[in-house]
Structures are given as C-alpha cells and as structure tokens.
C-alpha cells in the first residue's frame, strides 16, 4: 500500500449556514507529487484541505490517504500521515517556546522524551531555525513563524504535506527561502495558494477550483497557458509567464515547473 | 489605547527577564511557586491593624529581585501601574473607621487610616512577589510548576493559551483602535457605542481564532492534554529555599519582629542606663 497517495472521490460539504463549499470534488495525488490547488476566494480550497486530514468529515463522497479512508476511527493514523500547515502561523504556534511547539505533535504520538528532542532538533535544522528553539513564538518575524510552523509538522514525519497559503505575508527573500525548502521535500504535497508563481515553480500539476467544483486538473504549464480557463477561475497568468511590461519581450521560461 | 501597548511590552520584558541565568532563576519553579504561595498567605492573613508586622515581609521580594538581577525601577513602575486598584479597594476605610487609635505627635491617627495603609502595603507586597516570581521563572515556568503540583490540567492549559494569545489579541485591539482613531478626527461623542461594537468584533474574532487554533491542535494529535517535555529537578537546594523562606515568613507572621527588636533595643539601653 502506498502511504503517500491521496484519493478524493465525489466529495461534497455544506457549512451549517447552508453554504455549499464543496460540490462533487474528485482528484488523486500520487507518491511524491506536488499539486497546487488554485482558485478565487471562496472557491472551496481551504474546505478541501481541511478534509485531507479529517478536520472535516465528508458529508458525501470519500477521502482516502494511503488506502485508508478518512473516518472517525482512523483519525490518529491519518493525522500522523498527513501534516497540515495552516495559513496563519499564529494559529499553529500555541506553545510557550518554539521547541515545545515543535515537540507538541511528537509527544502526542507518545514518543519518549529523547526521541522527541531528536525530532525537534532535526525538524528545526531542516527549516534552518535551530537558533530559535528557546524563543517564544510571538517574538518571531513572519518568515521565522512560517518556517517554525512547517517544522512543527515535519517533526511528526508525515508522508503527505498539506499547506494553506504557505507564501502569504512573506517578504521576497523569505518567500524565496520557503520555495527552496519546499522544493527539497520528497513528501506528497498539496498546496492551496494565490501565489501562482509559486504554483508554477513548485507544482507539476494544478487543480483549478471555482464554486466548490474542480474546473480543471491538468499539468501546471497547460493550466497557466489557458487564458479562458484562468478567466473562468477568477485567476490570471503568473507574472513569470507574462511578457515583460517594460520592454515587451516574451517570458524566458514557458512555465515548465522545475523538479 | 497606548496603555495596551505599554502593558504588552511590560509583559514581554518580564518574559525576557525570566531568561536571565542567576541563582534565583535556577531555583526549581515549584520551589518558587510554593514559597510565593506561603508568602502571600502569611501577608494576607496578617491582622488588619498590624502595619508594623508587615514591614519585614518586604525582605522577600527585595532580596529575590536583587539576587535575580531584576531592574528595580521597572518593577516599581509596574507596581505603580497596578496600585490604583488597591487605592480604590481601601478608599473607604478612613471614612468608616474614624476611631483615633494613636497620635503621631499632635496628629490623630484613626484606625481607618492604619487599615488603609495596611491594605495598600499588603497589596504592594503580594503583587511585588508575584512580579518577582514571574520575572525569575517565566509565565510558562509557573504554569509548568502548577501542573506538576497537581493543579487541574484544564486550568493550566487555559493559562498557557491565555498568555500566548494575549499578545495576538492585544495587537488586534491596537490595530482596530488605530483604524477607529484615523477616521474619527478627534470626536468622542459616539465613543461608547463604537467601543461596544469594537468589543463585539473582538469577541467574534476571538471565537474564530479559537476555532482555528483548536483545529491546528487537533491536526497534531491534541487529545485534551498538553504535554510538555521540560525536565524539572527539585534538588536539596530547592528544599532549603522553600523551607528557609517559609520558616522566615512563619516567624514574621507569629512574632512582630520590629516591635520585638524595638523592645530588645530599649531593654539593652535600659540595662545600659541602669548600670551606667
């Protein structure tokens, strides 16, 4: 059984106020693949992500991770397998110090203290944040918070990473560093984002959502070359795939994602 | 609203002070929490008119602050910031209790004024002790000690999260107040109504954030208890710290030390005068 694969089938979800957030969504992600989920605000991206590790349970349809259906009794296993990075790091970093926050998940997994310490050290080192270990989270910069939030998830050694807007609120250099970090991961990645250049650079495949449905599920380069599709999804071409606004030259790269 | 910013920066400074490394900082958090609790009980239970008996207690916060390298001016400012509460609480004592109990030269001193001074002094002593505890242990350290001392876990978790998010909430409040100020052009007529709505908004935002935090916690396997792997070691030194200070507080509480000292000195002088 491939623990890294995700299979979503005919998933629908309506919020208690009646808003139909997901309306028959289906897609697959295979081992090591990096998939972008793009779409306008309110397209259903965040709701979809919340289903991938069982924070919401399907009202109709199903979600399978590594062959295990997401259901009440499989939640501990699903949450170990799928690591979720939330949009606002302040929501994710709730412990008094960075080290304790990174250790929160591993301790809940029931690991002994020495193993937890080792995981904390290696996760922080992976995101280049070893020096922040003893700092309280509220004193970190936006980029540092994001890096630590990713470390809190890496410390659980997940097979799948789910990220909501990983590059929002980052300055260009912090964003560049994040991209480098994400490129180095070998987990299956599902990334919801408005940062279309990030999608073009990191993801081999892109899912376009609108009104709770999947508009398109195609190779990233195809999606961003299809102006009609982008228009329908409330999107536009990534800056890196437009001609230069000053001199009018065509973009150097055709948007083929680098792997 | 700058008071919010000032309060938060004071909290932040307390937290940074707690990362110093002195003998006082190294004492086990449990020892400091227990000792402070004994201190507070002894101070609070001292008699209403026993002003003199309270004075020796000041030695605890002063010694700890000095040994812990804490900036006294900063702690003093925090005490002043908190003192209006005590003044309000004690304000009516001089009005109701007008019986003259002593004369200071030719000035009559009523029981009300003595109990007023005693309330303010007790407030200053206990708050100073709490500040010193936080500044040498950190809020998280205090919470950890409480947990190890079997304080119910939900309470400790609440305290931890409260402390973590008071900064986020403070920031949100500050931004909201700023947005209001920018468009109110110094007019204050409708303030109370606007403040009511702002409070409502803050409450709703807090609910939404609490929901997101809870999801983030669940995503990492939260099952109702927050586990912290911070090793604590309660050594012989910590025992001496706790018992030593507690014994001293018990002494202060049972013997009026300044009065006893005064009698002793008077006695010695008397003997000296008698033999001389």
Chunked mean pLDDT (size 10), chain A, 259 residues: 82 92 93 92 92 91 92 89 92 90 91 92 92 90 92 92 91 91 91 93 94 94 91 87 79 52
Q: Which domain holds residue A211?
A: 6-93+158-241
pLDDT of residue A259: 45
Smallest Cβ–Cβ distance between B221 and the set A90, A105, A113 belongs to: A105
Contacting residues of A for B230, CB less than 8 Å apart: 100
Place of tokens 């299979």: A7
Contacting residues of B for A100, CB less than 8 Å apart: 140, 228-230
Selected for mutation to probe chain A from B220, B221, B227 (highest A CB count within 10 Å) is B220
Within a domain: residue A16?
yes
* Mean confidence (pLDDT) of chain B: 87
pLDDT band at B189, cuts 50/70/90?
Answer: low
Question: Higher-confidence residue: B33 or B9?
Answer: B33
pLDDT, one tens digit per residue, over B219-271 is 888 887 787 767 788 999 999 999 999 999 999 988 888 888 888 888 888 87
Distance of alpha carbon B147 from alpha carbon B153, whole angstroms = 6
Mapped onto helix, strand or coil, the DSSP state of residue B150 is coil
Question: Residue B9: is its pLDDT beyond 50?
Answer: yes
pLDDT of residue A258: 47
User: B84: buried, middle or exposed (CB in 10 Å: 19+, 13-18, 0-12)?
Assistant: exposed
Contacting residues of A for B222, CB less than 8 Å apart: 104, 108
pLDDT band at B190, cuts 50/70/90?
Answer: low
CB within 8 Å of B171: residues ≥ 6 apart? B8
pLDDT of residue B275: 64
Smallest Cβ–Cβ distance between B160 and the set A50, A96, A156 belongs to: A96
pLDDT of residue B268: 84
* Helix, strand, coil percent values for chain A (each to nearest 5): 40, 25, 40
Domain tally, chain A:
1
Question: Over pLDDT 90: what percentage of chain B?
Answer: 37
Tokens for B78?
């925090």
Domain ranges of chain B: 2-275
Give the best-scoring range by mean pLDDT among A163-172, B16-25, B29-38: B29-38
Q: Which helix (H) or strand (E) holds B119?
A: helix B111-137
Instruction: Specify the length of chain A in residues.
Output: 259
Distances in Å between the alpha carbon of A148 and those of A54, A104, A124, A137?
23, 12, 7, 9
Within a domain: residue A255?
no
Question: Over pLDDT 70: what percentage of chain B?
Answer: 96
Instruction: Specify the length of chain B in residues.
Output: 276
pLDDT, one tens digit per residue, over B69-111 is 999 999 999 999 888 888 888 888 888 888 888 788 888 888 8
Here the CATH number for the domain that contains residue A87 is 3.40.50.300
pLDDT of residue A253: 54
pLDDT of residue B7: 82
A15 and chain B: CB distance < 8 Å anywhere? no
Distance of alpha carbon A208 from alpha carbon A235, whole angstroms = 9
**Interface contact flag, B12 A113, Cβ < 8 Å:** no
Question: Residue B143: is its pLDDT beyond 80?
Answer: yes
Within a domain: residue A148?
no
Within a domain: residue A37?
yes
Within a domain: residue A257?
no
- B46 alpha carbon, distance to own chain's centre: 18
Contacting residues of B for A79, CB less than 8 Å apart: 218-221
Distance of alpha carbon B159 from alpha carbon B138, whole angstroms = 13
Quick one: angle between helices A172-183 and A142-154, nearest 10? 20
- Torsion (CA) A197, A198, A203, A208 in degrees, nearest 10: -70
Smallest Cβ–Cβ distance between B15 and the set A53, A117, A136 belongs to: A136
pLDDT of residue A252: 58
pLDDT of residue B124: 93
């Amino acid at each position: 059984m491939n623990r890294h694969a995700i299979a979503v089938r005919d998933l629908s979800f309506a919020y208690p106020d009646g808003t139909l957030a997901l309306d028959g969504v289906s897609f697959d992600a295979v081992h090591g693949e990096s998939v972008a989920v793009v779409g306008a605000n309110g397209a259903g991206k965040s709701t979809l992500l919340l289903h991938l590790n069982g924070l919401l349970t399907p009202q109709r349809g199903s979600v399978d991770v590594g062959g295990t259906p997401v259901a009440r009794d499989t939640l501990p296993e699903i949450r170990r397998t799928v690591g979720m990075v939330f949009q606002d790091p302040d929501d994710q970093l709730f412990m008094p110090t960075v080290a304790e926050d990174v250790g929160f998940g591993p301790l809940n997994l029931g690991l002994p203290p020495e193993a937890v310490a080792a995981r904390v050290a290696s996760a922080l080192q992976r995101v280049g944040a070893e020096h922040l270990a003893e700092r309280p989270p509220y004193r970190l910069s936006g980029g540092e918070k994001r890096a630590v939030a990713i470390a809190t998830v890496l410390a659980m050694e997940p097979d799948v990473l789910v990220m909501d807007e990983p590059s929002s609120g980052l300055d260009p250099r912090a964003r560049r560093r994040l991209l480098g970090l994400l490129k180095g991961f070998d987990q299956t990645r599902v990334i919801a984002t408005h940062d279309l250049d990030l999608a073009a650079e990191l993801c081999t495949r892109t899912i376009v959502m609108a009104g709770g449905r999947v508009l398109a599920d195609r190779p990233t380069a195809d999606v961003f070359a299809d102006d009609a599709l982008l228009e329908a999804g409330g999107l536009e071409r990534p800056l890196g795939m437009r001609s230069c606004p000053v001199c009018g030259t065509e973009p150097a790269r055709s948007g083929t994602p680098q792997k | 609203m700058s008071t919010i910013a000032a309060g938060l920066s004071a909290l932040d400074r307390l937290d940074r002070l707690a990362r110093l490394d002195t003998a006082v900082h190294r004492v086990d958090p449990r020892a400091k929490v227990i000792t402070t609790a004994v201190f507070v009980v002894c101070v609070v239970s001292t008699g209403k008119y026993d002003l003199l008996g309270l004075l020796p207690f000041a030695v605890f916060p002063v010694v700890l602050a000095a040994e812990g390298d804490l900036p006294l001016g900063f702690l003093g400012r925090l005490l002043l910031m908190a003192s209006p509460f005590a003044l309000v609480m004690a304000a009516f004592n001089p009005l109701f209790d007008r019986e003259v109990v002593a004369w200071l030269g030719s000035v009559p001193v009523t029981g009300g004024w003595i109990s007023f001074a005693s309330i303010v002094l007790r407030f200053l002593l206990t708050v100073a002790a709490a500040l010193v505890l936080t500044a040498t242990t950190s809020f998280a350290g205090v919470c950890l000690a409480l947990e190890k001392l079997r304080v119910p876990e939900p309470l400790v978790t609440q305290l931890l999260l409260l402390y973590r998010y008071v900064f986020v909430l403070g920031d949100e409040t500050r931004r909201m107040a700023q947005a209001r100020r920018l468009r109110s052009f110094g007019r204050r007529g409708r303030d109370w109504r606007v403040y009511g709505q702002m409070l409502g908004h803050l409450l709703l935002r807090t609910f939404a954030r609490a929901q997101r935090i809870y999801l983030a916690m669940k995503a990492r396997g939260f099952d109702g208890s927050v586990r912290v792997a911070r090793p604590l070691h309660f050594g012989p030194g910590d025992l001496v710290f706790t018992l030593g200070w507690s014994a001293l507080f018990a002494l202060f509480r049972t013997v009026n030390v300044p009065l006893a000292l005064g009698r002793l000195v008077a006695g010695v002088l008397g003997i000296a005068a008698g033999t001389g």
